[in-house]
Structure formats: C-alpha cells, structure tokens
Amino acid sequence: MSPSAKQHVRGFSLTELAVSLAILGILVFALPPLIPQVRQILSGQQSVGVQDASDALMGFIMVHNRLPCPDTGSDGLEDCGVSNDIGLVPWRTVGLPGPMRNVYGLDFRYGVYRHSNAILKLDADLAVLANRFEPYLPPTVKAAVSHSTPSPPDIYNLVSMTMPVLPPTPVVLTSPNTDALANHSNGLDFCHALRNATQSAAGGAKVNAGLNVAFVVADPGAADKDQDGNLFDGDNSPFTRTFASPAAAISDVYDDKVLAMGFAEVAGALDCPAAVANVNAAARDAWAAYDEYRAAVFSAYLRDFMYIVRQTNVQINAFHFVFSTISLAITAGQLATDFALAAGSFSGIGASTVIGITIGTYSTVTSVAQLAAAETEKALLEKQLTAAWIQVQNAASREESIRLFAGAQLTTAIASDNRGWFQ
C-alpha cells in the first residue's frame, strides 16, 4: 500500500467531524418531538386537544339536549350512576371514532356538573334530560262558551211568546293550561338546568378547588411532573376530585392543560337566553290573545243581555197596546151608555149623567192618546230590537274571530316550546 493510500484511510478530517457533530445535534433536538407522532402512527390513533374535546361535548348537547356522563369503566361508554361526575370522556357515547387522547397517547379526564333535585323545576343535573321547563300558557279556547246566543226577533208574535230568560254568566277559565303541553324535554330544559346550576353550591366538577363549571376537560400532558404516581398533576389528580384552573402555568411540576366551560358560557354558546325569551314572549302573546277572547265573550254576553232587555220592552209594549185597546173599548162603551141614558131620560139630564158623560169623554180621549203613544213606542222599540239583534250577531262574530286568533297564538307558543333552542 502506498503512503498516500495509508493517509486516506487514517480517519475523519476536522471538517468532516464538525459536519457529523452538527447533524447529530440536529437529530438530538428534532427526534423527541416526533416520538409521540411515531407512537400514534404505530397505534393507529389520532391525537386531539382539549378544545376538540370541548367541541365534541358541545355537539353532543345539541343532539341530545344534555351532557354525557363520564366514562368510569374505560370502555368509551358513559356511566350515569348518581355519583358519577368525573371520569374519562365517553368517546363511544359521544360518537367519536376513538378515545380522546393527547399527542402522547394519554386519555383526557372529564368532569360534568351534576346536582339532581326531586322537584324538576329545580333540577340541575346536566347529564340527565328532564322536563324542567314549561312556558306559562293560557287554557285551550273552546269552540263554544257557556253563554247562549238568543234567537232572532219575531216582532209579529211577541205576545204569545213566553218572557225572555237571561243567559247564564259565561264561565271562562283563568288557570294556566295543563293539557296544551305534552310531557316532553328538549334543549330549553337543558337551558333551565344551566340556570338552576348557577344558583346551587353543590356539584363535584369544580376548578380551583371550589368553582362550579358546566363541564371541564383535562389533558395530562407528557409525564407525571409532580411525581405523585399519577399523570395528572396538581389539582387535576383523581385523588382531589377537582380540576386545576385553565390559567395554571406550565412549570417543573405541572404540564397539564385544562379547558372549563362555565354555565353562562355554555348557555351563551347555545343561545339559551334568546331561545327562552322567544318562548316566553310567545306565551305572553298567547295570554294577551286569550284575555282579549275573554273580553269578547263577556261583550257578547252583554249584547245578549241588551237584546233580552229590548225584547222584554217590546213585549211589555205589546201588552200595553192590548190593554190600551181594551181600555178604549170600555170607556167608549161606557160613554155610549151614558149618552143613551141621557137621550132616554124623560125627567131631564141629571147631574150624575153629565158627570158620567164628561168622565167617559175624558177617559176615551185619554185611552186614544195612550193607544197612539203605545203604537209610536212599539215602532221605536221594534227598531231598537232589530238594532240589538244586529249587535248580537256582530259580537258573536267578533268573539269567534278572536277565539280563532287566540287558538292560533296558543298553537304558536306550543310550537315554539317544541322547537327547543332552535327558534
């Protein structure tokens, strides 16, 4: 071997050694961050962040009108025991393709606010769907009310008729509707549970060891930084049954990530205030229409009453007319008798005869005047009776139109409640 060949295989030059060290340094710094991705590729799993988990839980609410219970059996399914409020994210129940894990392949911890109450209107268990909210609705309007519309006037046969009878006072319900709403639950009931939760101090899913939240998700990070034998650090440890603040800083003893959603935050994201306000507004409109309907019912009843009064007046006038006619006949007959007596008297007209003729004449004139007055009054009363009948018809028509309107408003309010937060 020549001297030049021996020199060629002797080793790296300084330049080659420097380049090699530089490449090695790059590999040292570049490979560790890639290790989790390699693990995911080998395991066939896709990592997610706490925000992804939160979005999945919010989507579950929109579909099921509640939050899922935690997974305490590590099978991806929710476990809804009464005391189960902290566990893993139930990915199968939520409908995800795989477990909710971070870039290091470690499962998230999940907590949900649960505080049940036997009185549904006070219940605040966010993992249970219950009929907590029902708008205050008026009674269902009926096709007929208790007042009776009178028959049309028969002004030519009133004397033979019996005296009119006043219809009974109409009865209109004023209590809230107990039949209009079915026993159903939807997003409005979840909104009501969020409202109830803000007024309760109970619940296990807390952050900062005391603050209630609707739900919370914790990412354990890469390692057990606080060396307590559990991947979750600090307040996120399962031994504490609480969660750390989402604002907790990364340190030598803490590398977790936490996302917490408060009651108002969830309600705002679901637009609960607007949805509940819309349903309550529809219920108020239904009550306003129902009150107008009640007024129309009593107005129609008043018109019925006035018609009965007019009808009675006409009948009284008819009897008055008959009596005036009879009275005229009697006085005319008495006057004729007095004249006959006066004409047949042979001893002259006595004082009593003159007085009788005078009284008879006056009574006859009075009876004629009364008969004429009764005739005039009859024409006026018949005109008033006809006008009262027209008012009865108009009031009945208005009552029916308002009844239909009130029914439509009630239907709208019920439909609004049935839509939940999809207003």
Question: For 115-136, what is each residue's pLDDT tens digit?
Answer: 999 998 999 999 999 999 988 8
User: Which helix (H) or strand (E) element contains residue 377?
Assistant: helix 351-418
Q: What is the pLDDT of residues 15-58, one digit of tens each?
A: 655 555 555 555 445 444 444 443 443 334 445 789 999 999 99
**pLDDT attached to residue 399:** 86
Q: Is-contact 273 267, C-beta < 8 A? A: yes
Question: Is residue 410's pLDDT more than 80?
Answer: yes
Lowest mean pLDDT segment, chosen from 94-98, 100-104, 154-158 = 154-158
Closest CA to 125 of 80, 161, 183, 158: 80
Q: Is residue 289 in some structural domain?
A: yes
Q: Which of 27, 44, 61 is the last residue of a domain?
A: 44
The CATH number given to whatever domain includes residue 393 is 1.10.287
Q: Is residue 269 in some structural domain?
A: no
Question: Is residue 155's pLDDT more than 50?
Answer: no
Dihedral sign for Cα 96, 99, 100, 102, please.
negative
Q: Is residue 31 in some structural domain?
A: yes
- Range with the largest mean pLDDT of 136-145, 173-182, 276-285: 276-285
Closest CA to 172 of 146, 150, 149, 148: 146
Q: Is residue 376 in some structural domain?
A: yes
**pLDDT attached to residue 124:** 93
Rounded-to-integer distance, Cα 191 and Cα 263, Å:
9
Report how many domains make up the chain: 2
**pLDDT attached to residue 14:** 62
Encoded tokens for 85 = 């409020």
Please name the residue that has the structure tokens 């999940």. Answer: 110
Expressed as residue numbers, the domain containing 363 is: 279-418
Top pLDDT among 73 and 323 is at: 73
Q: Is residue 402 in some structural domain?
A: yes
Q: Is residue 271 in some structural domain?
A: no
Q: Is residue 324 in some structural domain?
A: yes
Q: What is the pLDDT of residues 277-304, one digit of tens each?
A: 999 999 999 999 988 988 888 888 888 8
Task: Give the pLDDT band of residue 340 (cuts 50, 70, 90).
Answer: low
Lowest mean pLDDT segment, chosen from 188-192, 213-217, 307-311, 403-407 = 307-311
Q: Is residue 367 in some structural domain?
A: yes
